Chain A
Amino acid sequence: MNLASIALKNTRRNLFRTVLTVIGVGVAMLAFLLIRTVLTAWLVSAEYAAQDRLATRHKVTFIMTLPKRYVEDIRKLPGIQGATWMNWFGAKLPGHEDAFFGTFAVDPQSFLEVYDEIVVPAEHKTKWIENRRGALVGAQTARQFGWKVGDKVILEGTIFPGQWEFIVEGIYSASRKSIDQQSFYFHWNYMNDSLPASQQEQIGWIASKVPDAGQAATLAKKIDELFEPRDIQTLSMSERAMNTSFLGMISTLLDAMQIVSIVILIIMMLILGNTIAMGVRERTREYGVLRAIGFLPKHLSTFILVEAGVLGLLGGGLGLLAGFFLINYGVGRVMEETFTGLFPYFRVATQDMVISMVLSVALAVIASIVPAYNASKLHVTDALRKLG
């Protein structure tokens, strides 16, 4: 027996209360871990973006369009291995307005060359390229709506009003997580030809392939320099930088989530602080006796701090264990399959596990500092007077 083992045994004193406290801390840590995982997954999505691809958009904002002729100008630049373009179409499936999947107008031939991680059977690829109304649909979206090759699909345009009819010519998967399996791609010409003359030949952005990530910054600069003297200037960046800038737009949401995670930690501290304070108050007699037989104030503080640390460790461990299995074997898989574009990797990160455990123990100890200090300041005879 030693001082630490006594502190450990103290956690069994009121087992019901200890169990409730551990569960409380565990639930708080589980919530914290979930939020941390969402935040990490957001950032990881940028990491998964292709580094050997550049995105070129309007210098002012990505909702403003570029002239289609810019594509050929970019293709002519030394170092550019290929370029394609696309527009955000923003259509909905009638009857499933709440279901989200990206709809893009693309140039099929160059699109499949630049986005070479897209996996589609050769015969489907050929049919899609040949059919002006053909659509290439992500495997998850096809599964979600039960679409098969040959099916007719009608989408309701939101940016480009009207009903748009497509034939599913191919269902794709992806060899890398740099592209999701939810999107709906169709011929840019189909969209362009349907628009009024004043809106034709306008594209959303240009994606170009570069030999390696090391040349991305130089080539991005060259592209922007090329268009600097023109009426419409561009802003080029790696796909990863583009994703990161998108994250910047939702930084308020991310900040709010950070605040929620801090609030959760504060609640956890209050739960623990209350439990420890109650325990200390109930044990005033015992602390008096311990002080009488020679224990020092620092011993009492140690008992309390170690006990709090153990509660934090148990609660944190429970939350971590629950979070690990819930996220890695449940929610995470669903998120990855359903929102591949946003969360290509939705798993508990090692760093978040370490942060959770360290915070759980550290905050438990911090929460017990005041009760520990009060116990250490007890006067022996005052504490013994509570003997009744």
Chain B
Amino acid sequence: MNDANGTGGAPTLIRLDKVGKSYFRGKQPVEVLKDLDLTMPEGAFEALMGPSGSGKSTLLNLIAGLDSPSRGSITISGQDLGKMSESQRAAWRAQNVGFIFQTYNLLPVLTAAENVELPLLLTSVPSSQRRQRALTALRVVGLEDRAHHRPDQLSGGQQQRVAIARAIVTDPKLIVADEPTGDLDRESADQILELLVRLNKELNKTIVMVTHDPAAAERASVVRRLNKGALT
């Protein structure tokens, strides 16, 4: 683990300028993020750590285009997310962001291959190629032989690998992971982290990962710490 960038002179993928986020709890404003300035280069693998309520998940949501900031601007690959409508952001996410969640969140009625294929339904990829691409993504995560298994027929680690395949199937530049190892045993967690490192190093995916797990954070090239909505 180190706090240096480690990506040489790679172009900036993520830029946050004076980004703040406030909520209202009743009539009481709650400031979750305080005017953050942040850049992340393409190909980075960054971990966001901090105590509960520090704003790390909110920051992840903003970077992923799931939420909009109360103030400031967020630019990803030169595109200002603040200027996009809700549906434009949804289309942008479908093309540019892969999501990995703590509890995998696969659709239980779909097979592994169908779960992976799901994001491709929103793209222009022809139906004849969708299944092939899903199988390729499953091969990358080492689960090609489980393509026709439903989530309840897979272990937690395997389900998370299917979720990773779903995250990479559209070949996004950015992958956001919210506690990807939070529900896994150590061995499975290590396999998932190893996979993320491979995606970062071999496929040059930019990964932003929220974690409480120091062992997970160690795999990242950069660790940023948040406390009370500010980077420390």
- Tell me whether A6 is interfacial, beta carbon within 8 Å: yes
Q: A3-B121, A289-B105, A295-B122 known; A380 and B67 CB under 8 Å?
A: yes
| Chain A residues near B55 (CB-CB < 8 A) | none
Question: Separation in Å of the A280 CB from the closest CB of chain B?
Answer: 14
Are B61 and A381 in contact, CB atoms less than 8 angstroms apart? yes
Question: Separation in Å of the A343 CB from the closest CB of chain B?
Answer: 46
Are A293 and B119 in contact, CB atoms less than 8 angstroms apart? yes
Bound-complex Cα distance A381 to B12 (A) = 26
Are A384 and B66 in contact, CB atoms less than 8 angstroms apart? yes
| Chain A residues near B99 (CB-CB < 8 A) | 289, 292-293
| Chain A residues near B166 (CB-CB < 8 A) | 293
The residue that B107 contacts in the complex, of A6, A296, A381, A388, with Cβ under 8 A, is A6
- Tell me whether B11 is interfacial, beta carbon within 8 Å: no
Q: Mark A351-388 against chain B: 1 for CB-CB distance below 8 A, else 0.
A: 00000000000000000000000000000110010011
Q: Mark A89-122 against chain B: 1 for CB-CB distance below 8 A, else 0.
A: 0000000000000000000000000000000000
Are B93 and A292 in contact, CB atoms less than 8 angstroms apart? yes
Task: Say whether chain A's binding surface is mostly helix, strand, loop, or mixed.
Answer: helix
Bound-complex Cα distance A13 to B107 (A) = 10
The residue that B105 contacts in the complex, of A1, A9, A286, with Cβ under 8 A, is A286
Are A293 and B67 in contact, CB atoms less than 8 angstroms apart? no
- Tell me whether B227 is interfacial, beta carbon within 8 Å: no
Bound-complex Cα distance A295 to B87 (A) = 9
| Chain A residues near B119 (CB-CB < 8 A) | 293-294
User: Which residues of chain B (95-139) have a CB below 8 Å from chain A?
Assistant: 95, 99, 101-103, 105, 107-110, 114, 117-119, 121-122, 127, 130-131
Q: A12-B109, A13-B108, A285-B105 known; A292 and B130 CB under 8 Å?
A: no
Bound-complex Cα distance A6 to B114 (A) = 9
Bound-complex Cα distance A285 to B173 (A) = 25
Are B103 and A291 in contact, CB atoms less than 8 angstroms apart? no
Q: Could you show 17 A-B contacts with beta carbons less than 8 Å apart?
A: A1-B110, A6-B118, A10-B109, A13-B109, A285-B105, A286-B105, A286-B107, A290-B118, A293-B94, A294-B95, A295-B90, A296-B90, A380-B61, A380-B66, A384-B61, A387-B101, A387-B105
Closest 4 CB pairs of A and B: A294-B94, A9-B109, A289-B105, A294-B122
Binding site for A on B (CB under 8 A): 61, 64, 66-67, 87, 90-91, 93-95, 99, 101-103, 105, 107-110, 114, 117-119, 121-122, 127, 130-131, 166
